[in-house]
Homo-oligomer: A and B are copies of this chain.
Amino acid sequence: MPQQDRAYATREAILHAAAEEFDRLGYDRTSLTAVLARAGLTKGAFYFHFPSKEAVANALVERQDEVWSQVRESWRGRGLDPLTTLRGLFTESAERMSADVVLRAGVRLNAEREIGYPGVPSAHVLWEKLIGAYLAEAAEGGHLRTGVDPEAVARTLCGAAIGARLISSATTSCGDLPARMRELLDHVLAGVATSAGKLSGSQSASERASGP
């Protein structure tokens, strides 16, 4: 393996080992010693790539940020109706987190910095605005029931997604997150979407059974 590829592989190994620890324990309780043991690396090899534990955490937070940008752009670019786009965003996010410990760790680290500590929870605000904009578009297109406040629905959906991630992360390493996400979308959209809005998304078995 050429030296550059080896360096890249080592950096990725560090990120992956750190992600495994951060994902289980969070930032404060993760030790560099445990990360090195997991990656089978010396301190020297580590410090060649990262100056500190914080720097690895920063790299993981940046990476999840890039993934979410791509996911958002990819769904925006498909030109689907707003509620179908929302379902797609939520379910793809859940599936990716369930499958990828590096992404999961980045999301947890980002949430630890933003949620639960004083200050502006900027990623949360970004998502709430994005989702609120899709819901406002859905309202304009007649896909939300009369009197439903798109911003309030955005607050409910964002909160529900964060709570689902936390519970799923603690109990199944996000293994059941895609199922939980589909459930919460079904429950919330069943209450706020018109029949047209509901039909535009992927219907659940229970919606089909009970009718609109």
Give residues in A with beta carbon < 8 Å to B.
24-26, 28-29, 108, 114-121, 124, 145-149, 152-153, 155-156, 158-164, 166-167, 169-171, 180, 183-184, 186-192, 205-210
Chain B residue at minimal CB-CB distance from A198: B191
- Tell me whether B180 and A159 are in contact (CB under 8 A): yes
26 sampled A-B residue pairs with Cβ under 8 A: A25-B117, A28-B29, A29-B117, A108-B116, A116-B169, A120-B171, A121-B167, A121-B170, A147-B205, A147-B206, A147-B208, A148-B210, A155-B164, A155-B180, A156-B180, A156-B183, A156-B187, A156-B188, A158-B167, A159-B180, A161-B163, A162-B166, A187-B191, A188-B188, A189-B191, A191-B191
Contacts of A159 on B, CB cut-off 8 Å?
Answer: 160, 163-164, 166-167, 180, 184
- Tell me whether A164 and B167 are in contact (CB under 8 A): no
C-alpha gap A58/B186 in the complex (Å): 38
Chain B residue at minimal CB-CB distance from A152: B183
Chain B residue at minimal CB-CB distance from A149: B206
Supposing A116-B26, A147-B205, A189-B191 touch, asked if A184 and B170 sit within 8 A by C-beta, the answer is no
- In the assembled complex, the CB of A106 is this many whole angstroms from the nearest CB of chain B, namely 15
- Tell me whether A146 and B187 are in contact (CB under 8 A): no
C-alpha gap A153/B184 in the complex (Å): 8
- Tell me whether B121 and A171 are in contact (CB under 8 A): yes
C-alpha gap A161/B188 in the complex (Å): 13
